[in-house]
Chain A
Amino acid sequence: MNDSIAVRIDNLSKVYGSGHTAVTALRGAHLEIHRGELVSVLGPSGSGKTTLLTAIAGIVEPTAGRVVISGTVLYDDGWKVRDMRRFRREHLGFIFQSHNLVSFLTALENVVLALDINGVRGSRAATIARDLLDYLDVGERAGHLPEQLSGGEQQRVAIARALANSPAVILADEPTAALDTERGKSVMALFRRIAREKGSAVLCVTHDHRMTEGFDRTFYVKDGQVTSGA
């Protein structure tokens, strides 16, 4: 397998339910994302975007097909929940529309949390977290709780958390939907910078048409089928 490929999906299908109530969310999807690449996945509601994201995230096991991340085949026989969680904390970073910061932790602690879970603790974790917050221009807000931060600041802290363990892949679910255009563009610029400087593959699932520019490639999902745009 080519080492530059961060994510590869082969013939991925997912069917929810069975019989009359069966719903096919993905139909033989193919997709490849390289390290340092910033891609978007566009599609209307119910098209299968979230199923694609959760399949890559190791949350929803596909009915058929393969998901390969950094050379590791997910959902292999014998993989247990804890194996999937370990894989997620070591190889994946997550960014959400609603930021999803832990409300009772400060900005710094939210980033340290991701490191702590991955076994990086103490002053080393604090240093990494502080550097990341500085890198994302929210270092001065390190001691503040999420409720004391603006939406844009919260999203930057969430990005810092996603970057904490230097993941191969960052999965972003509607990362700009809750932000105004200016802040949304700022976040997209950050993603581009992260992809270039950190070498992570960044996959943004979105239907925010304000933010379709600047991606290296765009995939479209419609009726469970994934097509490549550019």
Chain B
Amino acid sequence: MNLAIRDIKYGLGRFLLTSVGVGLLLTIVLSMSGIYRGLITEALVLIRDVKADLWVVQRDTRGPFAEPSRLPEDVRYRIAIVPGVVEASPFVLYSIQRERKGKPLRMTVVGYDIATGTGGPTRIVAGRGLAQKRYEMVADEKLGLTLGERIPLGLHEYAVVGLTRGMVGSGGDPVAFFSLADAQEIQFVKDNWAVRNARERALTAYERALPTMPTLPQTLARQFADNPDLHLVNAILVRLDPLAEPGQVAATIERWGHFTVFTSEQQADLMLMGNVDRARRQLGLFRGLLVIIATVIIALIVYTMTLDKLKAIALLKLIGAPNRTIVGLILQQAMALGLIAYGIAVSLGELTFDKWPRLVLVQAEDRLLLLAVVVVVCVLASALGIRRALRVEAGAALTG
């Protein structure tokens, strides 16, 4: 006779409500795994999709994902003639936040050479890629933009010609792709008010500093305020001949003295060990804490359920039930609670995780790991109740 199932049926409403509560807790535990995996996937999506063999960046910097890296755009021509290099393509990457319909619009801007296509959008789900050199953009659907919409950025408006899915920067911001020239202009060119303001400030400074040189301030001010250097990029993406030796090509480029070269794997490692590492550890810590909290809560629930049955347990002992019957009753209920809660957590995750603001990527192994954790947690949690149950004296059944 299975006492656990009969007891559950007797208090089904309360048991299910408790299971839902524990299930919600396990949903959060599962989401931690998903957020962690999503964080890594999002952090690496650009590096993986770009498919560059080498990343050439400013000397002694860690690349565009880790810190500002600026190098002249025309370096691509020098790199392109290095033996083993098939293609060298400029790449711009930065984040901006603007306002759209009264709400913040935050995006990671990627600028690439549309002639080579390297660094451009790879996951277009609607519309097309960039076809002309100016004033077009391809946006990730998470930005909420629609095809044909025109977005003002800086001095110009950009038409949305394509939508991607799952393209995000390392910080989780959806990516918007622009031609190299547009991306440079959005980043560096000041609007007219800013230009006039900068010009006035420079004029004032020079007038104070150089009273004896009346014409020089105007000349210098115009030069500095109006003509920023647009032809800077954050990295040069290099594709190699399959027979080329990446280390050798990297050594050749680094020998020039102005650049540092990373392979894609090195860029990915830098990303995971740098930008993502703290968040990863934080999530791991949070997940560990949640498992402990879940254990404590399940233990308390099982313990309370055991307290409710002390009289029945004493009776079972009195009429000669072996300990395994009593242990089975408590353990099976704890397992039922855990497994129902697990089912709720997995189902809830399936239904809702794709609607969370950031990617929550739960894989089969995460679900299996959670199942194993739930089983272990239930066994541990029931230990407290079992200990209490085994200490009940059979004589307690006689005392009314």
Contact = CB atoms under 8 A, between A and B. Distances in A.
Interface of A: 50, 53-54, 57, 59-60, 82, 85-90, 92, 94, 96-98, 100, 102-105, 109, 112-114, 116-118, 121, 145, 161, 173
B394 A82 contact: no
B348 to A, nearest CB: 29
Interface residues of B, number: 25
A85 B321 contact: yes
B12 to A, nearest CB: 10
Contacts of A145: 10
A59 B7 contact: no
B6 A105 contact: yes
B315 A89 contact: no
B1 A90 contact: no
Interface in B33-66: none
A87 B320 CA distance: 7
B398 interface: yes
B1 A112 contact: yes
Contacts of A117: 316, 319-322, 325
Contacts of B322: 82, 85-86, 117
A100 B10 contact: no
Contacts of B321: 85, 89, 117
A97 B400 contact: yes
Contacts of A82: 322-323
Nearest to B1: A116
8 contacts: A57-B394, A60-B395, A86-B322, A94-B398, A100-B315, A102-B3, A102-B312, A173-B398
Nearest to A54: B395
A59 B394 contact: yes
Contact of B7 (A89, A94, A104): A104
Nearest to A116: B1
Interface in B373-400: 393-395, 397-398, 400
A92 B394 CA distance: 14
Contacts, number: 79
A121 B2 CA distance: 12
B323 A57 contact: no
B196 interface: no
Nearest to A171: B398
B398 A113 contact: no
Contacts of B311: 100
Contacts of B400: 96-98
Given A100-B311, A102-B312, A105-B6, A161 B319 contact: yes
A118 B322 CA distance: 10
A90 to B, nearest CB: 7
- Which of B312, B318, B320, B322 is the most central at the interface, judged by chain A CB atoms within 10 Å of its CB? B320
B231 interface: no
A97 B398 CA distance: 8
B257 interface: no
A36 B298 CA distance: 50
Contact of A88 (B1, B6, B9, B319): B319
A59 B393 contact: yes
Interface string B210-244: 00000000000000000000000000000000000
B217 to A, nearest CB: 93
Nearest to A117: B321
Contact of A104 (B9, B325, B394, B398): B9
B317 interface: yes
B11 interface: yes
B15 to A, nearest CB: 11
B398 A88 contact: no
